[in-house]
Amino acid sequence: DAKTTQPTSMDCAEGRAANLPCNHSTISGNEYVYWYRQIHSQGPQYIIHGLKNNETNEMASLIITEDRKSSTLILPHATLRDTAVYYCIVRVEAGANNLFFGTGTRLTVIP
Amino acid sequence: GAVVSQHPSRVICKSGTSVKIECRSLDFQATTMFWYRQFPKQSLMLMATSNEGSKATYEQGVEKDKFLINHASLTLSTLTVTSAHPEDSSFYICSAQKPAGTPYEQYFGPGTRLTVT
């Protein structure tokens, strides 16, 4: 699986949009971009994933650049409960393959 | 939804004893489960891949005789830490994989915090 690069930490004001970037310049054509988050002392939680089109669900939006070398996870209205470590992972979708967790971005939502 | 449970949520044991951690997929069948370990302020590290009815595949550096994995049914995998030592103290997390075809097929349990004294 391709490696990803994320900022170590970010702050966001409560109620504002949180934009979390991820670089994955070596991504292959059959690899998807997945986002998970881990709230302190809990298991990771799936957020969203995409291949090349932008995606949106009830939790977030995922914007993938046209060359697919980077993406941005957007939490439209951050709340204190969104404080967590966010992991950007690229992997092929099919098959029994594990998720490789890098260091992620620690997002702190500030009141 | 898809729910994965772990039991116990936290356990304290004495050095030299063994501890068993259970991972269950409550509302789906999981042919594959993964076991991760997470030390404080570090990311998740894969320990092993568990396939129902067959032997687990361990990552490099993980002792298979120390971390015994059993995946006897499609909804249950167990991790037994044998002869535990203080350095085994960690947060152990399992994930269960839905059959291929679903978009986000891995679901994580809440984790088990092991403290070895």
- Which two structure tokens, joined as six digits, stand for B11? 């356990």
Q: Cis (ω within 30 of 0) for the bond into B8?
A: yes
What are A40-68's pLDDT values in tens digits? 989 999 999 999 999 999 999 999 999 99
pLDDT given for residue B31 in this prediction? 82
Task: Give the Cα separation of A85 and B7 in Å (integer).
Answer: 24
Per-residue pLDDT band at A35 (split at 50, 70, 90): very high
Would the pLDDT of B103 be above 70? no
Residues of A with CB under 8 A from a CB of B: 34, 38, 41-46, 49, 87, 93-96, 98-104
Higher-pLDDT residue of A100, A105: A105
How large a percentage of chain A has pLDDT more than 90?
Answer: 78
Task: Answer whether B5 touches A (CB < 8 Å).
Answer: no
* For testing contact with chain B, the best of A98, A105, A106 (most B CBs within 10 A): A98
pLDDT given for residue B13 in this prediction? 96
Which chain B residue shows the shortest CA-CA distance from A93? B103
What are B36-79's pLDDT values in tens digits? 999 998 999 999 999 888 889 999 999 999 999 998 888 999 99
Within 8 A of B52 by CB-CB distance, chain A residues are none
**Distance from the A77 Cα atom to the nearest Cα atom in chain B, whole angstroms:** 24
In terms of Cβ atoms closer than 10 Å to its own Cβ (0-12, 13-18, 19+), residue A102 is middle
Task: Give the Cα separation of B17 and B90 in Å (integer).
Answer: 15
Higher-pLDDT residue of B100, B66: B66
In terms of Cβ atoms closer than 10 Å to its own Cβ (0-12, 13-18, 19+), residue A34 is buried
Mean pLDDT, chain B, rounded, equals 91
The answer to whether A95 contacts B103, with C-beta atoms less than 8 Å apart, is no
What are B33-46's pLDDT values in tens digits? 999 999 998 999 99
Task: Answer whether B50 touches A (CB < 8 Å).
Answer: no
Beta bridge mates, B77: B23
- Helices and strands of chain B, counted as H and E runs: 0, 11
